[in-house]
Amino acid sequence: MTADFEVGSCLPEAQNVQLSVVIVNFDTSAYLREAIRSVLRESEGLSSECIVVDNHSPDGSAAMVRREFPQVRLIANSVNVGFSTGVNQGITASRGRYLLVLNADTVALEGSLRELLDFADEHPECGITGPRLEYPDGRLQPSCRTFYSFKTLMLRRTALGKLFPEAPEIRRHLMLDWHHDSVREVDWVLGAAMLVRRRALEQIGWMDERYFLYLEDVDWCYRMKQAGWKVLFCPRARIVHHYRQGSRDAGLLNPDLWIHLESAVRYYDKWGEAAYLLKRYLSPLRLPASLAADGLLLTWALWGLTDLPWSMAPPAVVLLTAWWLGHYRLRGNEGIAELVWRALGNVLIGLLASGLFYWTTRVPVPHMFRSRLALVKALPSAVLALSLSRWGILTIKRWLTRRRLTLRRAVIVGTGERAAALAEALEADPNLGYDVAGFVGTPGAAAPILGGPEELPDLASAVRAQEVIFVQGDGGLEPLMGPVVACRKVPLDVKIVLASPEAYLLSGSLIDLGDFSAIDLPGTPLDDLSRAMKRGMDLFVSGAALCVLAPALGAIAACLRATDGGPALVEIEHVGADERPFRLLRFRTTPEGEATERGASALQRLLLRTRLDKLPELLNVLAGDMSLVGPRPPLPEEVAGYRDWHHSRFSERPGITGLWQVEKTRKWRFDQMVRLDLYYVLHRSLALDLQILLKTFVMMLAG
């Protein structure tokens, strides 16, 4: 835990505990005394324990518990660690089959604990049960809610709620049209009183300790429902809640208000659809947006926003120089001196390049470049603008990192000790920037388990993950290929934590995750656009090639028919993308009626040697069965002998050429060919396609 604490007396280890009551307290000694008395009174005859977590209360709450309730287990923190951390400390110390989390300002009414336990036993599908909450005067206290949308979050957690107190969204959110007199499944219940099934708790995990106070109950219920458990309201169990609402006092000067707002931001950052989409799809736009903003800032710093667009040219050169020299690579440990020094070098090189451009062309010259003195005067402004821009972004990034906001949500594939150690390392160091949502695999040393590898893309989407981290096992990298390719198609960022430094299969960039080495396979947020561009290139190149080569293709076909009277083209069944069969077209390179090339004509042997027999495959490309570049399509009988990881190559359209085909002089083993096909699948890009096509063209010219 995050603070030192002392633990008081506890129940014997061997005792079978049905119910553990966890009360988290801060500075509410009078309320706490009444809460403990009611719990002890209502738990008579039950196999139960009561645990009080005191967050360094200045009112002597801990001393009161020691003095008046020796049978209660006390956890006394040396600092205020927050509500969620306090609950987790209580869970750590508990042994009950059910856990009842209570605020210190609650009172359990007659029969309430037994009613909650009976209700939970009657509903095994229920992960969290909420009792009926009442004000001290007996009035109903609405305690069930619908999940927050952005609109309800703003109306309930900001000053907008005071401007629009009768908004229908608030009424629906608070479920005010329901009398709370019947059993009902709800989205979430107030954390002032909630009964949690331990089996469900072990599946979804404990409270998120990043919520110091507020919305940790919403987060817990959201995760519970994601995992398939229900959140139910039990009207038979009644608990009084004084409901102090500390964040509504003293206006903007109230620190609780700012804690409340931070929790709202944290919740939306974690679960909001817009925040998820921004993190997942707009990362490629961060650099262009930064360059554009800095371009305007630098232009204004140099000579004001005049003479556009030519006045933008020198700042553009400066910024491209800064990007090329690594100025936009955020380093968390840089100070202002390092930023100024790097900005000075970038500006000097950029202005020199701009000056050479203007002095050697007829482009209109900004007034700054007409005078050396003006150039020298502009230098400090440019350096200051570039330095302050980077310093501001770094400062914001460091603050967000310290507050554990805008973290990348990740799923870890693997449940062994190394997976658990990796999660612990990622959670311990906020500078790594990860929020581990859970684990995928069979139950093991790590928890919570979200599901199996076959559900991986859907699981990642359900928990709003932007990244999947695979932990390599004893079987090497090959068994991971199916899930890796599935994640890349979504697309998700992928990292593979290696059991050894060998990365013979993927040769991606190697990074450090704490003490672990990992292969980094960044996702392609604009993957649909990339695929559309690849398909467009296929159509353009194959169509143009068929038009240009039409006379030659016709001549070859005529010669083949004249040789022995057989057809010029043959159709051979192959297996394509997603393991769908298709008919692949080729020039016939065997004598009519023969299955082998023995006795082939000189033309047929030439076609084989130069690989021109594959030219009709351009028709397959036009039809969409193939691409210009991709894994080679196998025969059905070859697929029958595939191992599991070999099937991952079918995630892309098969190609006329590929990585291993352009290495004509090398004899590839089958597994090596599949590894190269998988390398292409994981690193597909237009640049790689053009590189392979160029090598193929050179190879064909060389014969």
Scan for tokens 């007829």, then name that residue.
362
Q: What digits encode the pLDDT tens for the residues 123-133?
A: 999 999 999 99
Find out whether 452 and 441 touch, Cβ atoms under 8 Å: yes
Give residue 593's pLDDT: 61
Q: Is the pTM of this model over 0.85?
A: no
Of 618, 605, 630, 633, nearest in space to 692 by CA: 630
Of 286, 299, 294, 277, nearest in space to 329 by CA: 286
111: left (phi over 0), alpha (psi -120 to 50) or beta: left
Q: What digits encode the pLDDT tens for the residues 343-368?
A: 777 777 766 766 676 666 666 666 55
C-alpha 487: how far from chain center: 11
CA–CA separation, 424 and 427 (whole Å): 5
CA–CA separation, 452 and 442 (whole Å): 7
Ranges in the chain, pLDDT < 50: 1-14, 247, 250, 503-504
Domains of the chain: 5-131+183-241 (3.90.550.10), 284-401 (no CATH), 408-523 (3.40.50.20), 528-702 (no CATH)
Give residue 116's pLDDT: 97
CA–CA separation, 570 and 613 (whole Å): 10
Q: Which two tokens mark 269? A: 């950052």
Of 226, 259, 130, nearest in space to 460 by CA: 226
- Reported as half-sphere exposure (CB side, CA atoms, 13 A), residue 115 has a value of 18
For the stretch 219-246, what's the b/e string if a residue is b when 16 or more beta carbons lie within 10 angstroms of its beta carbon?
Answer: bbbbbbbbbebbbbbbbebbbbbbbeee
Give residue 325's pLDDT: 62
- Reported as half-sphere exposure (CB side, CA atoms, 13 A), residue 59 has a value of 12
Q: What are the residues whose beta carbons fall under 8 Å from the beta carbon of 58, sequence distance 6 or more?
A: 27
Residue type, 559: C
CA–CA separation, 488 and 468 (whole Å): 10
Alpha-carbon dihedral of residues 604, 610, 615, 620, nearest 10 degrees?
A: 100
3-state secondary structure of 455: helix
3-state secondary structure of 5: strand
Maximum C-alpha span of the chain: 108
Can you list the positions of beta strands (E) in 225-336?
230-241
CA–CA separation, 434 and 498 (whole Å): 18
Backbone angles phi, psi at 540, to 5 degrees: -65, -50
Q: What are the residues whose beta carbons fall under 8 Å from the beta carbon of 392, sequence distance 6 or more?
A: none
Q: What are the residues whose beta carbons fall under 8 Å from the beta carbon of 248, sequence distance 6 or more?
A: 254, 257
Q: Which two tokens mark 466? A: 């932007």
Q: Are β-strands 184-185 and 467-471 bridged in parallel, bridged antiparallel, or unpaired?
A: unpaired
DSSP state of 146: P
DSSP state of 112: H
Q: Which two tokens mark 701? A: 């010219």
Residue type, 663: E
